[in-house]
Amino acid sequence: MRTIKGPGIFLAQFAGDNAPFNSLDAICGWAANYGYKGVQIPTWVGSLIDLEKAATSQTYADELKGVVASHGLEITELSTHLQGQLVAAHPVYDTMLDGFAPASVHGNPKARQEWAVQQLLWAAKASKNLGLTEHATFSGALAWPFLYPFPQRPAGLVEEAFDELARRWMPILNAMDENGVDLCYEIHPGEDLHDGVTYEMFLERVNNHPRANLLYDPSHFVLQQLNYLDYIDIYQERIKMFHVKDAEFNPTGRQGVYGGYQSWINRAGRFRSLGDGQVDFASVFSKMAQYDFAGWAVLEWECAIKHPEDGAREGAEFIKNHIIRVTEHAFDDFASAGTDLAANRKILGLS
């Protein structure tokens, strides 16, 4: 068994226009001050990384690592969540999703999708240049508007959506493989890969591609009432990344899983800062250690109540206290009789 690395922090929800959140150097100093050991970098934030340059210049990649290392930190992984969303987008979301891409491709879904694919291809090379072996993304969604089966879905609609999803992702998965990188899909509402069944539907269509792996985040399973501990048992061989994020689900007589179109603070299911929600993190970290998870425990902060800086400060200590330093010997070794094969056969009455 291996001890999980951490604590790490996903910078997406903290990056901004004001110091110390407006440059990689400054935000790394801020994170290190709270006790973080690693940073997960959102590649769409230009003040933190130039993705194309990281993919095409080893010198630039080394400089990025140097900036992070100067604060005693490591880069845990890169993320293309927003770009991944654009690899497969249903037209109903076109206007809203334009904001995820540069103005040059707004109003042009085909050009926007091509831009997104190029971003993922650069992410594969950038990860290799940075010495990273995992990458985080979203799958995008073609079938999501048809999640609930009323009006009745035409036969074959979902199957065709997943066939197309696989066709779009196979070249990207192959590029990741060429660069030695596991592509980790965050299983998430709004994506066609939003639970175990949909992941398996996709995995079958990409021929069980060895790079089509998972980012585990229990908060999304609390909100959809999926057993997040059983999920680890089922998919532990495919879980290569870990977002530590809390959530709570408090249904009432007025609303449940679907949330009644309410704001985050008024939904039955909502994200919380670590320790303020319902996730059993003691069991989560135990299972991750049991299955020899080799990656980072990375805070993703999304809370409608608590201030983000308080969430970040508390989150570092929370993760640190939940990481299990795994044992190097069995607890009952003190009682070992030190037997050998001959002694074992004698005990069994075989000699």
Q: What is the pLDDT, as a whole number, of residue 340?
A: 85
In a structure prediction context, what are the per-residue pLDDT tens digits for the chain, which is 351 residues long? 899 999 999 999 999 999 999 999 999 999 999 999 999 999 999 999 999 999 999 999 999 999 999 999 999 999 999 999 999 999 999 999 999 999 999 999 999 999 999 999 999 999 999 999 999 999 999 999 999 999 999 999 999 999 999 999 999 999 999 999 999 999 999 999 999 999 999 999 999 999 999 999 999 999 999 999 999 999 999 999 999 999 999 999 999 999 999 999 999 999 999 999 999 999 999 999 999 999 999 999 999 999 999 999 999 999 999 999 998 877 667 667 777 888 888 889 997
Q: What is the pLDDT of residues 139-169, one digit of tens each?
A: 999 999 999 999 999 999 999 999 999 999 9
The pLDDT tens digits of the residues spanning 62-80 come to 999 999 999 999 999 999 9
Q: Where are the beta strands (DSSP E) in 168-264?
A: 182-186, 212-216, 239-244, 246-249
Residue 214, C-beta contacts closer than 8 angstroms, at least 6 positions apart: 184, 185, 187, 199, 235, 238, 239, 240, 241
d(CA 19, CA 313): 17
The whole model's pTM is what?
A: 0.95
Sequence-distant (≥ 6) Cβ neighbours of residue 44 within 8 angstroms: 80, 82, 83, 100
The CA distances from residue 301 to 116, 141, 149, 330, 347, in Å, are 25, 24, 33, 36, 56
Question: Hey, which CATH number is domain 5-347, 3.40.50.970, 3.20.20.70, 3.50.50.60, 3.20.20.150?
Answer: 3.20.20.150
